[in-house]
Every structure is written in C-alpha cells, then in structure tokens.
Amino acid sequence: MRVLSADEVGLIYRVRMPGSRWQQMDQRVRIVWQPCRYGGQRPWLLCPACVGKVAVLYLGGASAFSFSCRRCAKLKYDSQRSGPRLRLMRKAQKLRRQLGGSGSLRFPLLPSSQSPFFNLTSSLRSVR
C-alpha cells in the first residue's frame, strides 16, 4: 500500500491467472474523512465499484482482480448462507454456552446435581 495523499491510497498487489505469469496491479482507493461525535475524524474507504463508504475492501469482488466492498463482491456471512433450522440450532448452542453448559445439544445442559432446581427437587422428595 502506498499513501498518495490524505484522501487517497494506492493498493499494489500481484495476481496470476492459472497458466500465466504474475501480473502487478495498482489500484487507487479514495478515502473520505467523517467527523466523530466527540472530536477527531474517522477514515472511510470508498468502494471503487459503488463509491459507498466502507471499512474493509475485498479482493475478487466486482472484478476478479480488483478490490470492492462486501455488497459489490456479493459476499455473505456464514449465518446468511445457512437455513432457518441451522440458525435456530446455533442460537440454542449460544444460549447453552451463556448458561454455563457446553454448546452440544446431545447432552443435558447441566448435570442434575448442578441444576438450580436440584436442591428444591431433592428437598421435595425427602418430604414425601
């Protein structure tokens, strides 16, 4: 990467098509500065394809050999590619881990002796 000015950087990288030589690429990316609420400024990269403000650019998006944003590169997060059943299963696993158990759905959340209701149920059994 080469800083051209306060508002522009140059990305220098090499690409190679299968069966051909390496080719050096040079792509310019503009930077815009946005004022922050409590002072200072935050830099944003402008996507070369859509001119949207982004924090990260990805190689191989709009064109195979250029950088672009997630939207132009048509990239999806892992959770967006999975179906509703898998998303619900991941949500259940996350809740189980937050409650102190393992993420596995194959085993009980907590062993019965560690359950918050263990003392209550054992005292009810002794009353009978």
Query: What pLDDT was estimated at residue 119?
Result: 55
Q: Output the CA–CA distances (angstroms, integers) from residue 106 to 30, 112, 123, in the order listed.
A: 51, 15, 28
pLDDT in tens, 11-68: 999 988 888 899 899 999 999 999 999 999 999 999 999 999 999 999 887 777 889 9
Q: Do 65 and 15 contact (CB within 8 A), yes or no? A: yes
pTM of the model: 0.61
What burial class does residue 30 get, using C-beta atoms within 10 Å of its C-beta: 0-12 exposed, 13-18 middle, 19+ buried? middle
Domain ranges, ordered by start, for the chain? 2-73, 78-127
Band of the pLDDT at 124, cuts 50, 70, 90? very low
pLDDT in tens, 63-113: 778 899 999 988 888 778 888 888 888 888 888 888 777 888 887 776 555
